[in-house]
Amino acid sequence: PLWLWMSDQAASCAHCGAQGAASLRRCARCKQASYCGAECQKAAWADHKKSCGKGGDKEAGAPAGDKKASSPAPSVEVVSFKVMEATRACDWRGVLSWEGRMEELMEEQPDDMCNTILSIFAAAYRSGFASTSSTGHLDSSANLEERRVAVLGTMERFRDQSQAMCNLAATLLFLDRKGEATTHYEKARALGAAHGFFTVECSACQGLGLTAVKEGRLEEGVELLRSALAAVPLCEDKNPARELAVLSTLINALFKMDAFDELETLVPRYREAAQEQSRSSGRLDVMELDSLLFRARLHEARGRPEEAATEVRALLDLIRENETAGQDMLYFCLAMLDQASSSLTILDPELGDKELIESVAAQQVKLQGLWQQP
């Protein structure tokens, strides 16, 4: 595989094959191929320049005396190394800076490597959306996930294929392409049922429920979401975040139906699970912010405005404590305050608590400034 190319090249002279890492010298341009000395480098240049780049120069790794070379593009091996380096550093911009070479990276590679490359770039685009809110990033992610679905089907890796279908459907649903999302969720659910993939069935059922809710089919959506919640204990991955995700979707749907009795049971359950998730991960989970907003909404719906205001203040305190937690967290904090302002009467400019409204507005301005910093 390309990712192993570096270690193979660094172990011996790329021309004569002599061993001895301590005495070898790497090509000055690509930093990959190694040589015993100038003679081996000159002898190998005619072949090496095809992978090092089209040509080269004294400054960029061509051996002394080669006057015809010009500035080369990085080789495929260099690009692959740079992409993996950026991936390990969670640097989505670094990954996407090589997007123009993605097709070249996949040339003549086996399907499993192509799937890995597609997955890396799709994830980078999703991270880019989280940081910039650019739906163009989501469109690109959806296109790559669709290609992954096809590749995984060719490989008959049906579990991974059905999970990729769910990822694709979730992205399409966010882009308001509900019909396409439903199609992929239904395919994933059928594939999961056929092979006994409970995790996939749960995810697909949750997605179909959310889609139904978005289309105004509340009762159908809530029943699907209840089925997804009941299936959580059967999921193979035993991921505690799965219960939180299903609960969050179900709670939002129940608020639309004014099903407050059921919410009195589910909201505390969600709060407890979210706090446990933060404790186990050692950092704030965005679900914990969500749980405070759910509690505020429920208190207000039940005619308890003072308790609702207390939850909003707790939400503000938690956000202030985590202002330096990174761009993704800033994005979610801003979204949470926007949602609070639009859903709570106590934050209504005409009817609400003036002091609390000013506190929320000031925090929004501060977070916006932090988020826009490079």
pLDDT digits (tens, 9 = 90+) for 5-14: 333 443 456 6
Q: Which residue has the higher pLDDT, 224 or 21?
A: 224
Point out which residues pair with 19 in neighbouring strands: 12
Distance between CA atoms of residues 11 and 119, nearest Å? 30
* Residue 211, pLDDT above cutoff 80: yes
Neighbouring residues of 312: CB distance < 8 A, sequence distance ≥ 6: 292, 296, 340, 344, 346, 347, 356, 360
Residue in 311, 325, 319 with CA at minimum distance from that of residue 362: 319
pLDDT band at 61; cut points 50, 70, 90: very low
Residue in 374, 335, 329 with CA at minimum distance from that of residue 127: 329
Residue 88 sits at the vertex; the CA angle it makes with 2 and 105, to the nearest 5 degrees, is 30
Instruction: Decide if 145 contacts 122 (C-beta within 8 A).
Output: yes
pLDDT digits (tens, 9 = 90+) for 83-99: 988 888 889 999 999 99
The pTM assigned to this predicted structure is: 0.68
pLDDT digits (tens, 9 = 90+) for 126-160: 999 888 888 899 999 999 999 999 999 999 999 99
Instruction: Decide if 170 contacts 181 (C-beta within 8 A).
Output: yes
**Residue 101 tokens, joined:** 């070479």
Distance between CA atoms of residues 333 and 366, nearest Å? 11
Residue in 46, 42, 100 with CA at minimum distance from that of residue 74: 100
Instruction: Decide if 249 contacts 214 (C-beta within 8 A).
Output: no
Instruction: Decide if 308 contacts 271 (C-beta within 8 A).
Output: no
Q: Which residue has the higher pLDDT, 254 or 17?
A: 254
Q: What pLDDT score was predicted for residue 75?
A: 84
**Residue 91 tokens, joined:** 């640097």
